[in-house]
Amino acid sequence: MRPFGLADGADGADGADGADGASGAAGSGMGKSPVIRPIGVSPALTKRPNEDWFRGNKWPPADLAVPFVNDLTAASFPYWAWSAYHFSFVGLTEFVQQPGWNTIPVLANVPIPAGQYLTNELTELQELMDYRPAVMAEALAQLSNLAVYWSGLFMFNKASHPATWRLAQVALRVAQFQAMYYKFNPGPAPLKPRPRPSQLSPSLMPPIDVPGHASYPSGHATESYLLAGMLAEVMPQEASTETTAGDADSTPLRRLAERVARNREVLGLHYPSDSKAGKYIADHSLPLLLNCPSVQYLKPIARQEWP
């Protein structure tokens, strides 16, 4: 029996993305129309006497000489039949059982700037506004479709690499959860959820609606870096090869994560420190995620998908 197959009915969650990244990963994927398989009247009706008035809706006897019978041998719902969208929640339930998931010292290592440091960040965001025309289409596509950027760069999808795709969706789901947890709980009282840049500097005029949650950490950065870290576990070494010697962030996987995070700053939705915080949370969540049973099961299968 194949360990993972092509069945992926409700895929779509690419992270704050949405529901299976490329499939609408992240929309949620739940809005898709279900597969329709029309079927006529039950074959059992052909066995009823005096049913000639129903002849036009019956199965021709020669086409169904033996009716369907129940098969009671199936022991469980197969792994390969899980949609990546739904399987991502399985990974999340395992992740929250890992000690330390909610005590990552992000604030101690990436503090929320104040005073002149905050002014410097706002000034940088003002300067980034000039780059909006060049990145707008890309940034808008990344609102709810993160995974397709990695699948495009490395030429894989849920059909060609089903186990890899499931790992990607688990990583995105966990990253969304982590981002929201730390957005609402950035640190001990009296620290409160961080306001969006445009709350402090209205002239930033974000070109899209400001998301309905706090700014710190960046959800897109958290998702992107955790996705990059997960893919590095199964992809060939070339995906994790530094293009600048000594710079661990210069790999193709992490360069793409940096690009996604930076686009959110260009839109005026996040401060640079938000992106750094998301990166920190992702890097410290990855070891916990790798301990999850479903991830440990999928990793060797996913590695075999890459020549």
* DSSP codes of every residue in the chain: --SS-S--TT----STTEEEETTTE---STTSPPP-----S-GGGGGSTT-GGGGGGSPPGGG-SS---------S--GGGS-HHHHHHHHHHHHTTSTTTT---HHHHSPPP-HHHHHHHHHHHHHHGGGHHHHHHHHHHTTS--HHHHHHHHT--TTTSHHHHHHHHHHHHHHHHHHHHHHH-SSSTT--PPPPHHHH-GGG--SSPPPSS-SSSPHHHHHHHHHHHHHHTTS-GGGG--SSTT-GGGSHHHHHHHHHHHHHHHTTS--HHHHHHHHHHHHHHHHHHHTSHHHHHHHHHHHTT--
- Check residue 74 and give its pLDDT: 87
Reading the block at residue 258, the tokens are: 């940096």
What does the pLDDT average to over 11-27? 41
Q: What is the pLDDT of residues 236-251, one digit of tens each?
A: 999 999 999 999 999 9
Q: What is the pTM of this model?
A: 0.82
Q: State the Cα–Cα distance between residues 200 and 166, nearest whole angstrom.
A: 39
CA dist 32 and 8 (Å) reads: 12
Is a pLDDT exceeding 60 seen at residue 15?
A: no
Contact of 139 with 267, CB cutoff 8 Å:
yes
| Alpha-carbon dihedral sign for residues 177, 80, 283, 146 | negative
Residue 180: the pLDDT is 98
Average pLDDT over residues 48-75: 65
Task: Say yes or no to pLDDT of 19 above 50.
Answer: no
The residue extents of the domains of the chain are: 79-303
Lowest mean pLDDT among 1-5, 102-106, 129-133, 199-203: 1-5
Task: Please give the residue that has the higher pLDDT: either 277 or 3.
Answer: 277
* Confidence (pLDDT) at 2: 52
pLDDT at 79: 83
- Give CA–CA dist 292/166, Å, rounded: 14
Mean pLDDT, rounded, of the chain: 86
Tell me what pLDDT residue 41 has: 57
pLDDT band for position 80 (50/70/90)? confident
pLDDT of residue 44: 56
Task: Return all residues near 125 (Cβ < 8 A) that are at least 6 apart.
Answer: 197, 201, 204, 265, 268, 271
Q: Write down the architecture of domain 79-303 according to CATH.
A: Up-down Bundle (1.20)
Please give the backbone phi and psi of residue 36, each rounded to the nearest 5 degrees, phi first.
-105, 125
Question: If you average pLDDT over residues 177-183, what whole number do you get?
Answer: 98
For range 51-79, the mean pLDDT: 69
pLDDT band of residue 104 (cuts 50, 70, 90) is very high
Query: What number of CA atoms fall less than 13 Å from residue 102's CA on the CB side?
Result: 8
**Weakest-pLDDT range from 20-24, 160-164, 232-236, 263-267:** 20-24
Q: In terms of residues, how long is the chain?
A: 307
19 forms beta bridges with 25
pLDDT tens-place string over residues 224-237 = 999 999 999 999 99
Which of 49-58, 138-147, 263-272 is predicted most confidently? 263-272
Query: Tens of pLDDT along 142-155?
Result: 998 899 999 999 99
Burial class (CB in 10 A: 0-12, 13-18, 19+), 75: exposed
Q: What is the largest CA-CA distance in the chain?
A: 90
Torsion of Cα atoms, 157 then 81 then 15 then 142, to 10°:
30
Percent of the chain past pLDDT 70, that is, above it, reads 79
